């Protein structure tokens, strides 16, 4: 595609690298993220779901504590208030595409469910359909997550373009069972390292493939809406 490039050295000095999620974190010390959990049984208040905001300074501790815990989730974006409502989103650093390809037996629109050896079926689908290859491929325990990671966190003033780009990517992955409702800013996804209790073998959410590619958000967004124009990004 020519849109992605390897981890840029210049960003290493400006943004801390998060090896847990394979992304660059914002340097703003006043941000929050959200952790959540789906409960097997209603708690004393009748809730089957709970979530809680944490300060960015607590990120590593909370992330590590949630490992191996069933059905743990994390917000896709960062917020400037202790809430994951879309109006409070501050920055975002990647797009997550949720592929429910395991539903292929009951959903006739799903044409693909096997990634192939070394993911060649998925990657060939991207190449054949002029879609950028994902930065990371993860197992959600039953389905697949595709991460398109940006070279640096993107501010909320770009959220219109971010959401439009997200929706366009979701549309392109319909043959893989992409969940078309997962483009809102308050969305949470399974935490890598946590366990999916819905899998018969309690399969963990985990990284399958780390490609080391990062996207310039502006170039990537422009490309999606000028598909007849060849836009390339030189590797750094």
The sign of the torsion formed by the CA atoms of 183, 187, 192, 196 equals negative
Residue 230, domain member (yes or no): no
pLDDT tens string 93-144: 999 999 999 888 889 889 998 898 889 999 999 999 989 999 999 999 889 9
State which residues form the domain around 103.
Answer: 4-224
Segment 2-60, tens digit of pLDDT: 455 444 454 455 788 999 999 999 988 999 999 999 888 888 888 888 899 999 999 99
Residue 6's beta-bridge partner residues? Answer: 213
Classify residue 144: in a domain, yes or no: yes
Query: Is 231 inside a domain boundary?
Result: no
Instruction: Check pLDDT > 50 for residue 230.
Output: no
Give domain status of residue 235, yes or no.
no
Instruction: Output the six-digit token pair for 84.
Output: 């994951």
Taking the C-alpha atoms of residue 30 and residue 27, their distance in angstroms, rounded to an integer, is: 9
- Strands 17-18, 23-24: pairing is antiparallel
In terms of pLDDT, which residue wins out, 201 or 190?
Answer: 190
Beta strands in 122-198 (DSSP E): 136-139, 144-155, 188-190
Task: State yes or no: pLDDT of 214 exceeds 60.
Answer: yes
In a domain, residue 53? The reply is yes
How many independent structural domains does the chain possess?
1
Q: Is the pTM of this model over 0.85?
A: yes
Residue 58 maps to which CATH number? 3.30.70.1790
Q: H/E element holding 37?
A: strand 32-38
Is the predicted pLDDT of residue 203 greater than 90, yes or no? Answer: no
Q: What is the pLDDT of residue 40?
A: 81
Tokens 């943004």 sit at which residue? 15
State the average pLDDT over residues 190-212. 88
Residue at 55 is within a domain: yes
Q: Is residue 182 part of a domain?
A: yes
Give the per-residue pLDDT at 3. 53
Q: Determine the Cα–Cα distance for residues 183 and 97; give it in Å rounded to an integer.
A: 9
Q: What pLDDT shows up at residue 48?
A: 85
Structural domain includes residue 56: yes
């Amino acid at each position: 595609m020519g849109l992605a490039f390897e981890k840029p050295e210049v960003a290493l000095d400006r943004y801390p690298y998060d090896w847990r999620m394979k992304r660059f974190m914002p340097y703003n010390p006043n941000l929050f993220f959200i952790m959540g959990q789906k409960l097997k049984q209603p708690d004393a208040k009748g809730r089957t779901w709970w979530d809680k905001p944490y300060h960015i300074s607590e990120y590593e501790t909370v992330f590590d504590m949630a490992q191996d815990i069933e059905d743990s989730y994390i917000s896709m974006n960062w917020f400037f208030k202790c809430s994951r409502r879309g109006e409070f989103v501050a920055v975002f650093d990647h797009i997550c595409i949720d592929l429910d390809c395991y539903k292929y037996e009951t959903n006739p629109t799903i044409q693909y469910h096997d990634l192939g050896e070394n993911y060649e079926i998925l990657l060939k689908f991207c190449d054949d359909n002029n879609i950028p290859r994902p930065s990371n491929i993860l197992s959600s325990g039953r389905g697949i997550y595709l991460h398109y990671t940006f070279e640096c966190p993107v501010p909320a003033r770009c959220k219109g373009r971010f959401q439009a780009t997200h929706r366009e990517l979701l549309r392109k992955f319909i043959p893989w069972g992409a969940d078309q409702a997962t483009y809102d800013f308050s969305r949470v996804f399974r935490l890598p390292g946590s366990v999916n209790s819905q899998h018969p073998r309690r399969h963990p959410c985990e990284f399958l493939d780390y490609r080391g590619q990062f996207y310039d958000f502006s170039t990537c967004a422009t490309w999606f809406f000028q598909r007849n124009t060849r836009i390339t990004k030189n590797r750094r």
